[in-house]
Amino acid sequence: MKIPIFQVDAFASKLFRGNPAAVCLLEEWVADDVMQEIAAENNLSETAFVNINGNPVKIRWFTPTVEVDLCGHATLAASRILFDEVLHKDNLVIEISSNSGTLKAFIEEDLIFLDFPADVPKPAEMNQQILDGLGKQPIELYIGRDDYLAIFNDEEEIMSMNLNFTELKKLSSRGIIISAKGNRADFVSRCFYPQTGVDEDPVTGSAHTLLAPLWANKLNKTKFFAQQLSARGGELTCHLKEDRVLIGGKTIRYLEGEITI
C-alpha cells in the first residue's frame, strides 16, 4: 500500500515558521493502529488523515500518541492540500466531516479560513496543580470544552513564562492556554498539551475557538489579529460570527512523498 503524504507549515508566511503538520490522503480508511503508528513515525504535533472518497471528505487527527477530536493547524494544512491536489481550486469552499461535526474551509484572498464551532469560556476555580504547573498566578482562569485558559497581564509575561509540564500533564483537560493582550496583535497566546505528547504546540488553531469569544467580550470587537508566541511563531486572523469562529492563516508547502506499508 502507498499513501500520499505532504507536510505543510500552517499559519506561516514563510518556511520553518508556524506549525508543521503532515497530511495523508486516503481513498479508504486504514486501521486505527496504523494511523497512530504513522503519526508517531512523523513525530509532528499532528498528522491529518483525509478520506477523499467521503462526501463530504472525512478527516481524523492524530498526535504522536493519541487521536484528538479537533485540530486547527492540521485542518488548515489538509485544506491547502485538498485545494491544490484534489479540488484544484475549482471550488473555493470545502466541507469536511469530523468527530467535532461538519467543518468548512474557504479561500479569501491569500488566506485559507477554517469555519469552526465557537467554544464559550466559563470561569474556573484555581487549584494548586494549575499554580504549580504555571509557576505564577494568572489574573483570570477559564475552562472551555477541551482546555483551561489562563489570562495574564501582558505579552512580556506570556513570553517569559517557564511551565512545569510534569504538573500540567496531570490536569483533567486536553491542555492549557495562556493569553494576554498583545503589543502588536489584539491578543497573544501560548498553548501547552503535555497530555497528548506535545509540551508546547507551535500554533494552535482550535485554541482560538476559545480565545476569540473571550477577547471579543474583553475588547468589544469580533475581528482580531492574533499571534502565538512559540519559538516558531504563528499569525492568525480570527472572526467571531455568532456561534462560529472563522480562523484564517497562510500556508507553506514543505515536502511531499509516499508512505509504503
Residue numbers annotated as active site = 46
Residue with cell 512523498: 257
| Residue 170 and residue 194 in contact, taking contact as beta carbons nearer than 8 Å | no
- Nearest CA to 19 out of 257, 165, 231, 241 is that of 231
Copy the grid coordinates of residue 211.
480565545
Residue 19's beta-bridge partner residues? 10
Identify which of 229, 127, 136 has the alpha carbon closest to the alpha carbon of residue 170. 127
Which triple of cell numbers denotes residue 82?
485538498
Q: Cα angle at 99 between 95 and 102, to 5 degrees?
A: 25
Please give the grid coordinates belonging to residue 223.
475581528
| C-alpha span between 159 and 2 (Å, rounded) | 42
Burial class (CB in 10 A: 0-12, 13-18, 19+), 83: buried
